[in-house]
Chains A and B, each alone.
Chain A
Amino acid sequence: MRPPFRSATAGNEPLKTLDFLFQRLIKAAFVVLGVVILNFLLIHLAPGDPAAVMAGEAGAGDEKFIAQLRAQFGLDQPLWWQLVTYLGNVLTGDLGFSYRNNVPVAELIMERLPATLLLTASAFLFSLLLGVVLGVLAAYKRGTLADSLIMTGALIFYATPLFWVALMAVLVFSIHLDWLPPFDMESIGADYTGWARFADIAYHLILPTVTLGLFFTALYTRLTRASMLEVMSLDFVKTARAKGVPKARIIRRHVLRNAVLPVFTFASIQAGQLVGGAVLTETVFAWPGIGRLMFDALLQRDYPVLLGVFLVTAAVVVTVNLVADLLYRIVDPRIEAAG
């Protein structure tokens, strides 16, 4: 019986990886295309269109005005033609023009994407690291008070709605204790540069990251603990123990490496959900990210912005999954080109 964590075979590994990457990229492109087409159709199924919303805001009772807006936006064309035009434009890298903001969609998205990526990446790392550490600790100290405390905490945060956590965090840490800023990504009007700006953003990042990350921390803690316990009951661990390997070393070298795999899988799938959670977090903390842009565009039926956001977030999620698959092959070489 060979230890499952040692590299399996030598040979043409890099070539296989390239081939695998290529296949996955093609699949990824199809997934994104599917997402775009599906969303396009779903959006147009929803009642109302941007011309009607804009006319409503202008307090207009003039059908010619609405017809003029529709013609300007290309909404008077048949739906299939609108879709073909849109896809054609996307292929040439043109995400369209926002009806409401009167700017190219790509510009709007690129302005907001970094903030969301920063927030979601920090929340992702925070929740994954803390979740795995706590999960390992709980499994290691199984049945003790520490285990109970960790698991109770995890259960509470797993069950608490995100926006409530956000509001409570503001109440406690910003209003009562006055430790952390309640909103914004950086101090407005301060014009920091270099390290000062970095520190300023990091300071503003703490509350939103923790808020967005807590639910996922709870999730990963529970998952890691369960997975650890499962692996700990496997034969090879018993063998190791019988051989007299110290417990800490068994946990670190044998159990954790195996137990963390399902957590990785899960985390890569959860990346999409993290973007969803970012909509709420960004709203409460006035974080200038893409989530809020998406929400406003949805209410105003700003189709090009909405589709652009879906396209970009789909691309991000697919990329994260792709990277996860690659990492997976490194962590667990048993998975080969089969992926």
Chain B
Amino acid sequence: MKKISRLALGLAGLVGLAAITGVQAEEAKTPVAGGTLNMIAQPEPPILMVGLNTQGPTLYVGGQIYQSLLTYGTGLEVLPSLAKAWDVSEDGLTYTFTLQDNVKWHDGQPFTAEDVVFTADKFLREAHPRWRYIANTYVESIASPAPGKVVFQLKKPFSAFLYAFELSSFPVVPKHIYEGTDYRTNPANQTPIGTGPFKLEEWKRGSYIHLVKNEDYWKPGQPYLDELYFRIIPDAASRAVAFEKGAVDVLRGGDVEGFAVRRLAKLDGVETTTAGWEMYSPVVFLQMNTRKAPLDEKRVRQAVMHALDREFIVKNVFFGLGKPATSPVASTTRFHSQDVAAYPFDMAKAKALLDEAGVKPAEHTVRLMPIPYGSQWDRLAEYVKQQVEQLGFKVSIQGVDPGGWSQALSEWDFDMTFNFTYQYGDPALGVARHYLSANIIKGTPFGNNQGYSNPKVDELLLAGASAVSAEDAAKAYAEAQKILTEEVALGWLYEMHNVTISREKVRNLVTTGIGLNEAMDEVWLAQ
């Protein structure tokens, strides 16, 4: 009898436990309002006004304050943000956006179509280098024919146009605050007014940025979090300590060194993801100045590509956080093509190519200038030096700081350097700029600084950009990728993977292809 009752008790207990865990599982899916999320802004953003600065940390913090018309999923599907619907005419020349209703700026003023027109036609056309290129090249007019509607009339079709409305490309700014002012010195830059789910409460420079919930946010019942803190911790080791000790709940890609990522990922109650970078998909490349002998010779550049073991680079220099790149267009970006020239690691082939070109490596000293963004890049430089020296060249590494690097790149005063490019979802937005011969402009650091020029590639890239149908664009871009890889216009090394590390209690952290730059209106904290 006793035994039975014990068994019964036990069974009952099990059933009860199952019921409780069932309830818990259900609870774990239902957002709970409240709580504070602690993060790190690294480096400290100079300003939170996204229209004037599009550095990573500015977008991370500013993305909670400012919003764009659209956002993009992890598969690059176009999603609503301040625009709830959009329509593209069949000739690809008219884009009509319908805006969300009842959106207010943080100062209580209503958000209207006039704000979008001002942003596109005035503010960003003056202050935003990427938008001004698009606006000046493709846009005929921007107007609001009716309340809540904005129409962009294009001069010629632009297949990437729907991808040009991401936060960093098109942050909508308030007309009533900026119209008729000097945008850069406007004092309102210090008290940003956006439409986003959080408002700036306090910025104690050097310590933290404190945002609080926007009670009038246009999505009812959201955001769930009450407060966001972005801490300023300049030292990488100290940032790792901050996460370990629980002072922060989230680490963004690059917040800690690659070797620390592995260690922190193993802590209890910690999650990691590489999702949330699909829109940016940074591709790292070796930029070889094609004006300078012997790098002006295609076969020498091919030889360098064969001499670099890109698997090795990813695994040993960047702690496995990435994958070898095969094309100028990242594998996550639209119109990526597999039909390209491949460069497997093969020293014999590399040397044969040099022989074939009649180049005597011992006669050349190559200067290699690593991008001054931290020690991993210096190690990459050491690896490249070692490999290129095995081909017989002499290589000298030149250390510079960011100002010096920009200068040398702008003045074409380099032989080899590293750089990486954000893709922004479409080749016309983030990729083509490095290959178009019209972008060979002295005095600017981010164009076709290696001096690569091929009229056929120009034609194909422009054809892809102006294609009306996706098939035509894909065809043009595929052919361009084939030529670019064959001629080694740049030495693509790898597709960077950025790891977001967070505590398990943080839910819905990464939901779109812009990851942590997305407005955190869906994020909540499990109890």
Interface residues of A (CB under 8 A from B): 46-49, 52-63, 65-66, 68, 72, 97-98, 100-103, 108, 111-112, 115, 167, 170, 174-175, 182-185, 188-189, 282-289, 292-293, 296, 298-301
Residues of B within 8 A of A286 (CB): 206-207, 231-235, 238
Q: Which residue of A lies closest to B410 (CB)?
A: A52
Say whether A299 contacts B402, CB under 8 Å: yes
Whether B446 pairs with A61 at a CB distance below 8 angstroms is: yes
Q: A53-B406, A188-B207 are in contact. Are A62 and B444 (CB under 8 A)?
A: yes
Q: How far is the CA of A285 from the CA of B231 in the complex (A)?
A: 12
Docked pose: A47 CA to B204 CA in angstroms: 31
Whether B47 lies near A101 (C-beta < 8 A) is: yes
User: What are the residues of chain A within 8 A of B405 when measuring CB–CB?
Assistant: 48
Chain B residues in 8 Å Cβ range of A66 = 443-444
Question: Is A292 in contact with B404, judged by CB distance below 8 angstroms?
Answer: no
Contacts A62-B444, A286-B231; is A53 near B130 (CB within 8 Å)?
Answer: no
A63 touches B407 (CB 8 A): no
Scoring B residues 304 to 345 as 1 if CB is less than 8 Å from chain A, else 0, what string do you get? 000000000000000000000000000000000000000000
Tell me whether A170 and B190 are in contact in the complex, defined as CB-CB below 8 angstroms, given that A283-B235, A286-B235 are known contacts.
no
Residue interface bits B392-417, CB-to-A below 8 A is 1, else 0: 00000000111111111110000000
Cβ-closest chain B residue relative to A186:
B207
**With A and B bound together, what is the CA distance between A286 and B234 in angstroms?**
6
Residue B43, interface by CB 8 Å: yes
**B403 in contact with A46 (CB, 8 Å):** yes
Question: Which of A48, A68, A102 contacts B404, CB < 8 Å?
Answer: A48
Sorted from nearest, which 7 A-B pairs have the closest CB atoms?
A: A288-B206, A48-B403, A61-B447, A60-B129, A48-B407, A47-B407, A100-B46
Q: In the assembled complex, which residues on chain A have CB atoms less than 8 Å from the CB atom of B130?
A: 58-60
**Pair A62/B237 contact, Cβ less than 8 Å:** no
Inter-chain contact B242/A183, CB cutoff 8 Å: yes
When the two chains form their complex, are residues A53 and B402 in contact, meaning their CB atoms are under 8 A apart? yes
Tell whether, in the assembled complex, residue A283 and residue B234 are in contact, meaning their CB atoms are under 8 Å apart: yes
Residue numbers in A under 8 Å from B245 (CB-CB):
174-175, 182
Interface residues of B (CB under 8 A from A): 36, 43-44, 46-47, 49, 52-55, 126, 128-130, 132-133, 184-185, 189-190, 204-208, 210, 227, 229, 231-235, 237-238, 241-242, 244-245, 400-410, 421-422, 430, 433, 439, 441, 443-448
Question: B448 and A61: CB pair below 8 A?
Answer: yes
A86 to B: closest C-beta gap in Å = 17
Which of A55, A60, A189, A298: most chain B Cβ within 10 A?
A60
B190 touches A102 (CB 8 A): yes
A59 to chain B: which residues have CB within 8 Å?
54, 129-130, 421-422, 430, 433, 446
Q: Do A61 and B403 have beta carbons less than 8 Å apart?
A: no
* Residues of A close to B447: CB separation below 8 A: 61
Q: Which A residues touch B185, using CB under 8 A?
A: 97, 102
Contact status A299-B238, CB under 8 Å: no
Task: Name which residue of chain B comes closest to A57, CB basis.
Answer: B55
- Alpha-carbon distance A286/B205, docked complex (angstroms): 11
- A3–B502 Cα distance when bound, in Å, is 70
Q: Can you list 19 pairs linking A and B with CB atoms under 8 Å apart?
A: A52-B407, A52-B410, A54-B53, A56-B409, A59-B422, A60-B129, A60-B130, A61-B447, A62-B129, A62-B441, A63-B444, A102-B52, A174-B241, A188-B208, A188-B231, A189-B210, A283-B235, A287-B206, A288-B204
Instruction: Enumerate chain A residues within 8 angstroms of B231, measured Cβ to Cβ.
Output: 184, 188, 286
CB-CB < 8 A to B232: which residues of A? 286, 288
Contact of A170 among B53, B229, B234, B241 (CB under 8 A): B241
In the bound complex, residues from chain A placing their C-beta under 8 Å from that of B402 are 48, 53, 56, 299-300
Query: How far, in whole Å, are A284 and B204 apart by their CA atoms in the complex?
Result: 18
CA distance A102 to B185 in the complex (A): 6
A284 and B430 alpha carbons, distance in the complex (Å): 35
Q: What is the bound-complex CA distance between A48 and B132, given in angstroms?
A: 24
User: A55-B445, A188-B207 in contact; A167/B403 too (CB < 8 A)?
Assistant: no
* Nearest opposing residue in chain A for B128, CB measure: A58
* A300–B446 alpha-carbon span in the complex (Å): 16
Cα A49 to Cα B444 with chains together (Å): 12
| Contact (A112, B238) CB under 8 Å given A48-B406, A58-B130, A61-B444 | no
Chain B residue numbers with a CB within 8 Å of A111 are 205-206
Q: Could you tell me the distance in whole angstroms from the C-beta of B204 to the nearest C-beta in chain A?
A: 7
**CB <8 Å contact, A65 and B129:** yes
Chain A residues with CB under 8 Å of B446's CB are 55-56, 58-61
Bound together, the chains give a CA A161 to CA B322 distance in angstroms of: 34
- Chain A residues near B448 (CB-CB < 8 A): 61
B46 / chain A contacts, CB cutoff of 8 Å: 98, 100-102, 300
If A65-B129, A292-B234 touch, whether A56 touches B406 (CB-CB below 8 Å) is yes
* Contact, CB under 8 Å: A57 / B235: no
CA separation between A54 and B47, bound complex, in Å?
A: 12
List B contacts of A52 (CB < 8 A): 403, 406-407, 410, 443-445
* Complex-state Cα separation, A15 to B474, whole angstroms: 88
Known: A58-B128, A111-B205. A72 touches B47 (CB 8 A): no
Inter-chain CA distance A100–B47, complex, in Å, is 7
**With A46-B404, A65-B132, A102-B190 in contact, is A56–B235 under 8 Å at CB?**
no
Instruction: Name the A residues within 8 Å of B53 (CB-CB).
Output: 54, 57-58, 100
| Most central of B208, B242, B444 by chain A CB within 10 Å | B444
Of B204, B234, B241, the contact of A182 (CB 8 Å cutoff): B241
Rounded to whole angstroms, the CA-CA distance of A97 and B187 in the bound complex is: 12
Q: How far is the CA of A46 from the CA of B405 in the complex (A)?
A: 11
Chain A neighbourhood of B406, CB < 8 A: 48, 52-53, 55-56
A300: chain B residues at CB < 8 Å are 46, 402-403
Nearest Cβ on chain A to B413's Cβ, whole angstroms: 9
